[in-house]
A and B are shown apart, each in its own frame.
Chain A
Amino acid sequence: MLCLAIAGSMPASAHSASSSYLHVDVQARALVVQWSIALRDLDYAVGIDTDGDGAITWGEVRRHAAAIDAYALSRLALSADGVPCTFGAVSNLVDQLNDGTYAVLRFQAACASAPARVGVHYALLFDLDPLHRGLLTLSVGGVPHAAALSPTLQDVQFDVAPGYRETVRSFFLTGVDHLLTGIDHMLFVTMLLVPAMFRRRLDSFGPGAAMLPVADFSGMFVESLKVLSAFTLAHGTTLTLSVLHIVSIPERLSEAGIALTILATALDNVFHFLPARRWPLAFAFGLVHGLGFATALGPMSLPPMALGVALISFNLGLEAAQVSIASVVLPIGFLLRNTVVYPRRILPGISGAVAVVALVWFTDRAAGLNLMPF
């Protein structure tokens, strides 16, 4: 008896408590579900470790799959506009999460109609562990909704009426965010912009190439927008192709390719070895950048219409952010274009520094070293 009191007298260290992760993807007439439940919890509820050796093997999980599925599904209900959806066959997998191994249940729930309101009722484990929580995400048209389900919150409803406003807003912001926080994308755009206030003669190459300061700001701005739009167009094209799985290349290759485009553009700002016309270059390199999304966007299973809206919004957001960067970088460069220090020190200095970073990235990614933090 006293032992317990002592236990209470000393502060305890604790794990994360028991949670399950329930993902529901709302599609036209079905809900696609992936549900991860800790094996320790399932063992407590249905008894998986039949030989009692304290170790749960895949064989034991497989033999109890029917019991696991029956137990879990009897404590979950999904509905579309108040009408229950019917669970289909479950495929059983496992997943190694940072706090233990989880059983993963994948299944579809067929609904009578395309839902305007999805209802979730969740009561897993609450009778055995009132501290258990169900962490739910419900994704509609790529837009996530979420809830933490508990003994006092077992029922939630989500309004999923068709309507692309939220998709447009969310993906536009994601595009803006991607440019502003994706360091390699930002560096590439900057490398395109820093020499924009000079015009290079089309037949002039090499470190001593003739670079003439432009006379008129608006002309330069429009020219830069063309370069950026060519980049976005190319990027958007390959992004779409990779999302539709028409093109797919290994992430390592596309990541290394992106580093290479930054390296080439930065070096060109100093040594002028690429063709002087910038928009074809931006287009060609943009194709490479778009491929970088192959792995990132792959798992998004959106209906075609929503996918189109999402991709267009994303690219518009990206373009908007690029234009904002141009609005900051270009006036500064324009004001400095007639100084000696900008073309001779600042421009080669920035480009050289970016080239070094890009070279390290390239080596890191091509060789698969993963030493760089981003």
Chain B
Amino acid sequence: MTKSFLHLFCKKGGLACFLLACAPAQASPFLPASDSVVLEHLPDASDRGRHRALAADPHNLALALSVAQGDLGRARALGDPRYLGRAQAALAPWPTPGAPPEVTLLRAVILQSNHDFAGALAALDQVLRQRPHDAQAWLTRAAIHQAQAEYHAALHDCGQFATTVLGLAPDICTASAMSLNGHAPLALRAVELSLDANAAEATREPQVAMWGLTLAAETAERLGDPSAETWFARAMALDARDPYLLGAWSDWLLDHDRPREVIALLDGYTRVDPLLLRLALAEQATGHAALAGHVADLAARFEASRLRGDTVHRREEARFALYLQRRPARALALARDNWTVQREPADARILLETSLAAGQPAAADPILAWMQANTVQDVRLAALAARVRASTAGGS
């Protein structure tokens, strides 16, 4: 009878049960012992002034753009989507059709972050009709096409981007698409050369350098090249707090049986869902005592996202369902839905893994088709695909 009474509702009542029993809000409220108890740390304390100025003058375009840009940067740097909402609110005074192109562009980035790729592309097309040489619009378009596995379209976008800007960024843009359409060794070499040739830009724009280093690390890993570790180390030296890098580096460590390093690395990032997932996977691998608590936290957060109607986390949720809940059928359903929206190597991998675990190799057909159509080079995906083919052959 250790289960709480309310918890029993959870099996039947969907939203209601979740909120009653499983929601984080069901912890116990308390009165802090003294006034000096610190309850929360704010990552954005320095930016309060601009927000206040905008509240007083909400139709000031320049101010709204600067606030929204700051919030979008923060959403990414901290991995906190509430800043996406704040950026959206800053842009709210301008009507959706007929907004200035700068506003539409930022709206496209928000839509992209919420995985509304079709909406984002439509917004970008609108911007490009007004400003055919907008570098940022082309680059964002390339990123979306890349995430949808439209590598020809991405290469075209990168080409347009390169007509407006030269240097490291367009090189990485192009290499990123090439790394998945059969030219991975060339893409890796291109990033390496471009980083050397554009050292000044890399220093001036650490985010661009970070993008290049992460791309190099991931491409090397896909090729089974041990230099991946060195690329990750260089990226970590540049910014050891970048949420995307921390996730990619943790995955590399998990794949190379080094879960203890993941635990040390991610200890302070339990608020970022995808990083908490990696932490829990590392705890599972080492038999760490904190595992059960973190699995419960993740379950509550995925459930909350589902209730909110968010679908941004399906890739992570599929991994959670497969490895931490051992529910392969559910994991497969999530991985399949996810592939209809996002088509990056990590999305392919989880669909291959879940289709094998669920004993439904045919579910991985779209991945096999994607790999073949683009001659994707990835040793891990190739091994998984071989197992899928073997079990399809054995099963029929």
Interface assignment of B56: CB less than 8 Å from any CB of chain A:
no
B24-40 CB contact bits vs A (8 Å, 1 = yes)? 11011111101111111
Interface residues of B in 42-59 (CB under 8 A from A): 42-43, 45-46, 48, 51
B131-160 CB contact bits vs A (8 Å, 1 = yes)? 000011001101100110000000000000
Interface assignment of B327: CB less than 8 Å from any CB of chain A:
no
Of the residues A104, A139, A293, contact of B5 by C-beta under 8 Å: A293
Pair B86/A177 contact, Cβ less than 8 Å? no
Interface assignment of B362: CB less than 8 Å from any CB of chain A:
no
Contact A8 to B247, CB < 8 A, known contacts A14-B273, A102-B25, A129-B89: no
List the A side residues contacting B88 at CB < 8 Å. 129-131
Interface residues of B in 206-247 (CB under 8 A from A): 207-208, 210-211, 214, 243-244, 246-247
Minimum Cβ distance to chain B for residue A249 (Å): 13
Interface assignment of A6: CB less than 8 Å from any CB of chain B:
yes
Pair B82/A129 contact, Cβ less than 8 Å? yes
Pair A6/B211 contact, Cβ less than 8 Å? yes
Output the residue of B80, B165, B244, B275 with the most chain A CB within 10 A: B80
Minimum Cβ distance to chain A for residue B59 (Å): 15
Pair A17/B89 contact, Cβ less than 8 Å? no
Interface assignment of A23: CB less than 8 Å from any CB of chain B:
yes
Interface assignment of A339: CB less than 8 Å from any CB of chain B:
no
List the A side residues contacting B246 at CB < 8 Å. 13
A1-15 CB contact bits vs B (8 Å, 1 = yes)? 111111111111111
Of the residues A9, A11, A95, contact of B173 by C-beta under 8 Å: A9
List the B side residues contacting A292 at CB < 8 Å. 1
Pair A135/B147 contact, Cβ less than 8 Å? no
Of the residues B18, B25, B76, contact of A12 by C-beta under 8 Å: B76
Bound-state CA distance A148–B16 (Å) is: 10
Bound-state CA distance A178–B165 (Å) is: 65
List the A side residues contacting B41 at CB < 8 Å. 54-56
Stretch touching chain B among A33-41, A200-208, A264-272, A328-336: A33-41
Interface assignment of A154: CB less than 8 Å from any CB of chain B:
no
Q: Which residue of A lies closest to B309 (CB)?
A: A148
Minimum Cβ distance to chain A for residue B33 (Å): 8
Pair A12/B244 contact, Cβ less than 8 Å? yes
Interface residues of A in 95-135 (CB under 8 A from B): 95-102, 104, 106, 127-133, 135
Contact A98 to B300, CB < 8 A, known contacts A56-B38, A173-B12, A373-B292: yes
Pair A93/B31 contact, Cβ less than 8 Å? yes
List the B side residues contacting A40 at CB < 8 Å. 40, 42, 82
Minimum Cβ distance to chain B for residue A207 (Å): 31
Contact A12 to B82, CB < 8 A, known contacts A39-B40, A97-B24, A258-B1: no
Q: Which residue of A lies closest to B38 (CB)?
A: A55
Pair B271/A15 contact, Cβ less than 8 Å? yes
List the A side residues contacting B1 at CB < 8 Å. 182, 184-185, 254-255, 258, 289, 292-293, 296
Interface assignment of A90: CB less than 8 Å from any CB of chain B:
no
Pair B29/A21 contact, Cβ less than 8 Å? no
Stretch touching chain A among B67-75, B189-197, B352-360, B371-379: B67-75
Interface assignment of B109: CB less than 8 Å from any CB of chain A:
yes
Query: How many B residues face the partner with a CB closer than 8 A?
Result: 103
Interface assignment of A147: CB less than 8 Å from any CB of chain B:
yes
Output the residue of B84, B173, B275 with the most chain A CB within 10 A: B84
List the B side residues contacting A146 at CB < 8 Å. 13-16, 18-19
List the B side residues contacting A34 at CB < 8 Å. 29
Pair A5/B135 contact, Cβ less than 8 Å? yes
Interface assignment of A44: CB less than 8 Å from any CB of chain B:
yes
List the B side residues contacting A15 at CB < 8 Å. 78-82, 271-273
Interface assignment of B323: CB less than 8 Å from any CB of chain A:
no
Pair B40/A9 contact, Cβ less than 8 Å? no
Q: Which residue of B lies closest to A106 (CB)?
A: B29
Of the residues A6, A21, A136, A258, contact of B208 by C-beta under 8 Å: A6
Interface assignment of A174: CB less than 8 Å from any CB of chain B:
yes
Output the residue of B6, B40, B51, B135 with the most chain A CB within 10 A: B40
Of the residues B13, B28, B38, B272, contact of A13 by C-beta under 8 Å: B272
Interface assignment of A218: CB less than 8 Å from any CB of chain B:
no
Q: Which residue of A lies closest to B49 (CB)?
A: A52
Pair B39/A57 contact, Cβ less than 8 Å? yes
Interface assignment of B63: CB less than 8 Å from any CB of chain A:
no
Interface assignment of A217: CB less than 8 Å from any CB of chain B:
no
Bound-state CA distance A3–B204 (Å) is: 11
Interface assignment of B11: CB less than 8 Å from any CB of chain A:
yes
Of the residues B11, B42, B205, contact of A3 by C-beta under 8 Å: B205
Could you tell me which A residues sit within 8 Å of B by CB distance? 1-19, 21, 23, 34, 36, 39-41, 43-44, 47, 49, 52-59, 61-62, 93-102, 104, 106, 127-133, 135-137, 139, 144-148, 150, 170, 173-174, 177-178, 181-182, 184-185, 254-255, 258, 289, 292-293, 295-297, 299-300, 373-374
- Give me 20 A-to-B residue pairs in the complex whose CB atoms sit less than 8 angstroms apart, sorted by A's number: A6-B139, A10-B76, A11-B147, A12-B76, A13-B244, A14-B274, A14-B313, A17-B82, A19-B308, A94-B29, A95-B25, A95-B29, A97-B24, A129-B86, A131-B82, A135-B304, A146-B13, A147-B15, A255-B2, A297-B5
Top 3 closest pairs, chain A to chain B, by CB: A59-B35, A21-B25, A131-B85
